[in-house]
Amino acid sequence: MRFWNDPFKYSYKGLVRFDLVPKFNSTLKIVKKGGITIYDLGKLDIAKIYELNDRSPECGVGVSALHSAREDLAGFQPSAACRFAQKLKKKFGENITLIRGKGFLKDNWGDIFFEDLKRCGINLEVISPEEFIIDSKNKTIYLFGDYRKEGPAEFTEQFMEYIKNYPREKIFNSLPNEHGYISDKRLLFPKGIFYWDNLVGDNRVLNSKAIKFGLEKQNNLVLKPFLGSSGGDIFMGRLFSSQEWKEILESYCYLGEGKYGLFEACWLPKLKLPPFGEYAIDINPTFWAEGDCLEYLYTISRIDEWNRYWKQGVINVAKGGGFIGTLIDYLNNALKNVLNLL
C-alpha cells in the first residue's frame, strides 16, 4: 500500500481499520434458499474512505461480544481475536501483558475479548496502569485504550509519560508522538495521488482561509476534530442554517485553528430490504500494521436503520449503531484492487 509508506514508515505498530463507503449495483436480487431470504447486492465496489481508526479498534471486541451472545453465529464466522492472537504470538510470543485503560466500551465488552485471546493461545495478563508501574520489568505490553492530550482519554498523561522510557520493542502499540497522539484524520487528506484523492475527497484544515470554502460547500461537508473518536464533536453542514453553520465554523476556528478539519461528506448508500425497511451499511477491513507494511486480518460490516444513520451521520457501535455485524472471511477483487492502490 503505497500511501502507507509516507506517514508511518518504520514507526507505526498496531491495528488499523479503514471505514469504507460501499457501492452496490442499483438492482437488488432477492433469492430464497431453504426458507432463508438472501439479498444479493451484486458486485461490491468501494466509493470512499471516510474514516481511519488506529490503536485499538473496537471492532474485534464487538465481534467477541456478538459471538458470546449468538453462539450460532460463532459457529460459522471466523474469530477476530484468534487472527489477532496469531499475529501477537508470531511477533512477541505467548506471554502478553495487557494494560487496560478506563473506558465504557472496554469495561462492558473487554472481558469477553480477553477470554477469546486466551482461548486462542495467548497467556494474557490483564492489569491496570497503576499495577504496571509497580512491576513493569521485562513485560511485552499491549495498551488497550486511547490516549489524547486533549479530549477524552483512557490513560492518564502521567502514565503515558512513564512508559515513554519503556523499550519500544516490548510495546505492541506505538506511543503518542510529540503532538500527543499516534495519528489523526489528516491521514484522510489528498496526497497528490489521483486514485487516493478520489477516495478521500476534498478535505481541508479548518482555518481562517478555509471558512469561505466551508460556506460554499456547506451541504456537502462535515466538521470534525482531527483527534476525535466515536462520532463525538461532529457537525454536518446539511443540518444547520447558513448563519448557524457560519457561526460554528468561526467559533471552532477561533477555539483551535488547525485542530479541526472540513471533510467531504461520504454518505453510505441506502439499501431497501423488503419487508424490513431501509438500511445503511459500511465495510471495514482491519490490518496488522508494522512500519510501512499492512497485513490483512479481517473485515467487519456494520448495518443500521437508515433514518437513525441519516440523523446521526455515523454508524457507531458505542452509541447504538445497529449490529456490529458480520465478520467477512474474504475480500473480493474490487476491495483488493482498491487497497492495493493506497
Contacts of 255 (CB under 8 A, 6+ apart): none
User: Could you read off the pLDDT tens digit of each residue along the chain, which spans 342 residues?
Assistant: 555 555 555 566 778 888 899 888 777 788 888 878 888 877 778 889 988 877 656 778 878 877 787 777 666 667 888 889 998 998 889 999 999 887 645 566 688 889 999 999 999 999 999 999 888 778 899 888 777 666 667 788 888 888 888 888 888 887 765 555 556 677 788 888 778 888 889 999 999 899 999 999 999 999 988 876 655 678 999 999 999 999 999 998 877 667 899 999 989 988 888 888 888 888 888 888 877 778 888 888 888 888 888 887 777 554 444 444 555 555 555 555 555 555
Task: Give the pLDDT of residue 320.
Answer: 42
- Whether 264 contacts 189, CB under 8 Å: no
Q: Is 95 helix (H, G, I), strand (E, B) or coil?
A: strand
Domains and CATH numbers, the chain: 57-172 (3.40.50)
Pick from 176, 165, 172, 154: nearest CA to 98: 172
Q: Give the integer Cα–Cα distance in Å for 215 and 140.
A: 49
> What are the grid coordinates assigned to 299, written together?
473485515
Q: How many CA atoms lie within 13 A of 245 on its CB side?
A: 22
> What are the grid coordinates assigned to 146, written together?
486511547
